[in-house]
Chains A and B, each alone.
Chain A
Amino acid sequence: MLKCRTVWRKLAPLARASSTLCRQNVRRTGLHNARLPAHVPGAHMATGPGGGGRENQLYVLLVGATCLGGAIYAYRTVKGDQQRYDERIAEIASRPHRRTQQATTSVQIETPAAETVETESVPESEPQATPSSEEPSPVVPDAETADSSEAPEPIQEAPPPSEPEPAQLTEPSPAPVVESEPAEAESPAAEPSEPQAEVVAESAEGLTTEQPSPALPPHAPYLLIGGGTASFAAARSIRARDPGARVLIVTDEPDLPYMRPPLSKELWFSDDPAVTETLRFKQWNGKERSIYFQPPSFYITPEELSTAENGGVAVLTSKKVVHMDVRGNKVKLDDDTEISYDKCLIATGGIPRNLQVIDRAGDEVKQKTTLFRKIDDFRTLDKVSRNIKSITVIGGGFLGSELACALGRRSQDSGLEVIQMFPEKGNMGKVLPEYLSNWTTEKVKTEGVKVIPEALVKSVTCKDDQLEIKLKDGRLIKTDHVVAAVGLEPNVDLAKSAGLEVDSDFGGYRVNAELQARSNIWVAGDAACFYDIRLGRRRVEHHDHAVVSGRLAGENMTGANKPYWHQSMFWSDLGPDVGYEAIGIVDSSLPTVGVFAKATAKDTPKAATEESGTGIRSESETEDVASSPVASSIPAPAETHKDDYGKGVIFYLRDKVVVGIILWNVFNRMPIARKIIKDGEEHGDLNEVAKLFNIHED
């Protein structure tokens, strides 16, 4: 730099001199020409006639000398840089030897807050950074080609030799490789996204061992915290929209991203004895698939993340993010590694709630209790359920009912006693209107489950190697194992360190309609309490919502700025006869209007419903309301009657607007349901709306 200036200063006077000479000559020429127009200058060059000859030569000499000087200087500089670069590379290459002797205290990848370019200091955490920042240019080119933010580089020497270096170095072995791509180094212009370099390839370490892995990328352009459905959906969305994106998923589970619904449904119906290992199930269309979204070959390793030519998705398993520094745009893991990011998604989901009485009950009880959420829980429960005589599911919601039905089915063969208890009056009591909830409860019973509704657990004790559950009304239930399915506690551990708002009504991180919590931070899935433009602020714990919100978050992380608009749906199966799909707010405390296909012999193959106890009007006693269905209906007399809620549509209303719909045993109609909710109109006659669903067709 300084050299440049000094050289220029030296040359300047020369330049000036030569330019003045030039001007003088020109003037002379002009004068002469003016006076002697007849004197055709023929082959004369720029300078004047005869007399300017010597000056001419001098001038030429001067200019020539200058050019030569400049050329020599340039050549020298290039050579010098090249040399320095080579030396540096050599030095780095020799580092692994030194490294192996050094302790593993290196880890401190975090140190140079990503912003500053010296990041690469990582493994040695020495001021190596400085030298590196001087040769940004040569090194840069070979580094991540795909990096979107390719900051302008100082001098582009683009030495080809550097190319092969990274290539071999990226091999999962001698770590320092990475150093050679102090890509980041190039942009002292604080292009925080660059720092990739330190992919610190201690490769496999990241995934298999728990060592403080200096192998981890110190920076991930897209960092997704949590490795569940929402996170995977976001990763996919990001990769689809940002070519070559580098996405890092950090999850505290040991597994790659997988889908949860089969854990409480399909996997239990599998005939394969090895299902707990393979985790494969048969879809409703007959095709088999694994619960994992993608096989391991879909992902790249975290070590490769910075250097992979077209980017990719890397998953860091068994690592928990414990601290988030929003100002510094970085997170800290439980092993003290720091990773900086450009855009971050929090998709931490939640942990199953437990009953207070069990929590306080002591270890003996807790050992016989399962909180169901992950693959491990499935494996444990599967094993346990084969070896005991009696199992109790506490909770009457989706998970509880599904598990009860799944276990109940098993009980046909094994003689296992399956009990389900909950405080509501019937299964799905908080979701389905009472009549339907009762009907569903009967269904669950036919699956072989002993249902105990209106059960409030007062205490659980362990006696004679059995659990004794005492209910508030005095009943005592003895069982061998308990599965608690009493809700999900959204995981907001990072709220404090990140300074993120937590919603007091619904729990979870509070985010706006675009799922954004703060600049560069989005939240999706179970943990997100978001603003739904149509339905208001809510938090949804369903699989499809995780997909939709994850996808949306991914789109917004890549600049889409779209609000939550496409309504997610959910579904549940309770045995072979009952299946329903739902969308929107489906809360049993809302007024509902249910339109069911009147049972004909054809429609009721096996679905004969038992009397449900609540007086139900018989079909023959009709209220001819074909023309004015809105007319007030006559209260049902206490007649017992068989009602078959075989197929139908149920509308949930809030201030006369449909905010939720359940499609009861009718399928492939979700788009219509979605449209009705999206419209948000007040419909006078919901029977007319129900016509749109064609419930009588298959």
Chain B
Amino acid sequence: MTTVRQEGKDKIIFVTKEDHATPSNAELVEEDPDDPYEERGLILPSGEINWSCPCLGGMASGPCGTEFKEAFSCFHYSKEELKGSECLDQFRAMQECMQLYPELYPQEENKIPEANAEQTSEDATASDSKATSDPVQDSNSSQASSGSSLEN
């Protein structure tokens, strides 16, 4: 049973689980998938990689950013059976670069960039707080990698 109370200009409603059991009839505006203003996930509508996606953390902007971009791009556009199999050189270059900065790229990250993105999510500028530490993260349901919230 819903209870409603008014305290001056503030209204307070108490609802039970049953009260909220019926689906909402609130109308939300339809999303425009091509909205240029919206923050994008890892992959842009055009199919390109969004390097400023917070999910990548510092990967694309750090000292090994160039190597990372090359390796990941190669992987992303790879049409091979085993995706990315022709990108070994780029990945190797990236790994070599990363080994020079063990502080930034802790050595257990020897996986594909997607996994890397998740790991290095801690580098993300967004702070440490709860799930919503990275707001963009939340709003991007289509996240390729970090599907799980960032610093979760």
Contact = CB atoms under 8 A, between A and B. Distances in A.
A393 B16 CA distance: 39
A294 B8 CA distance: 48
Interface in B97-152: 101, 103-104, 122-123, 125-132, 135-136, 138-139, 141, 149, 151-152
Nearest to B30: A679
Interface string B22-63: 111111110000001111000000000001101010101111
Given A434-B8, A594-B10, A626-B1, A569 B135 contact: yes
Contacts of B23: 691
Interface residues of B, number: 64
A243 interface: yes
A565 to B, nearest CB: 4
Given A287-B151, A434-B10, A674-B135, A679 B29 contact: yes
B52 A674 contact: no
B10 A591 contact: yes
A284 interface: yes
Interface in A444-501: none
A596 interface: yes
A241 interface: yes
A674 B20 contact: no
A429 to B, nearest CB: 13
Contacts of B54: 551
Given A239-B60, A688-B25, A595 B130 contact: no
Contact of B129 (A261, A554, A622): A261
A550 B127 CA distance: 14
B65 A293 contact: no
A236 B61 contact: yes
Contact of B6 (A235, A581, A635): A635
B124 to A, nearest CB: 9
> Interface majority SS on B: helix, strand, loop or mixed?
loop
B103 to A, nearest CB: 4
Contacts of A670: 131-132, 135, 138-139
B38 A676 contact: no
Contact of B20 (A548, A592, A635, A695): A695
Given A581-B132, A592-B9, A593-B13, A547 B61 contact: no
A300 interface: yes
Contact of B2 (A313, A563, A626): A626
Q: Which of A262, A266, A670 has the most CB of B within 10 A?
A: A670
Given A566-B139, A594-B11, A544 B126 contact: yes
B37 to A, nearest CB: 4
Contacts of B22: 691
B128 A636 contact: no
A151 B53 CA distance: 31
B36 to A, nearest CB: 7
Interface of B: 1-17, 19-20, 22-29, 36-39, 51-52, 54, 56, 58, 60-63, 65-66, 69, 101, 103-104, 122-123, 125-132, 135-136, 138-139, 141, 149, 151-152
For the complex of A and B, 5 pairs with smallest distance between CB atoms:
A239-B61, A691-B24, A283-B128, A565-B37, A240-B51
Given A235-B61, A555-B52, A670-B132, 5 more contacts: A435-B12, A566-B39, A623-B3, A624-B2, A681-B28
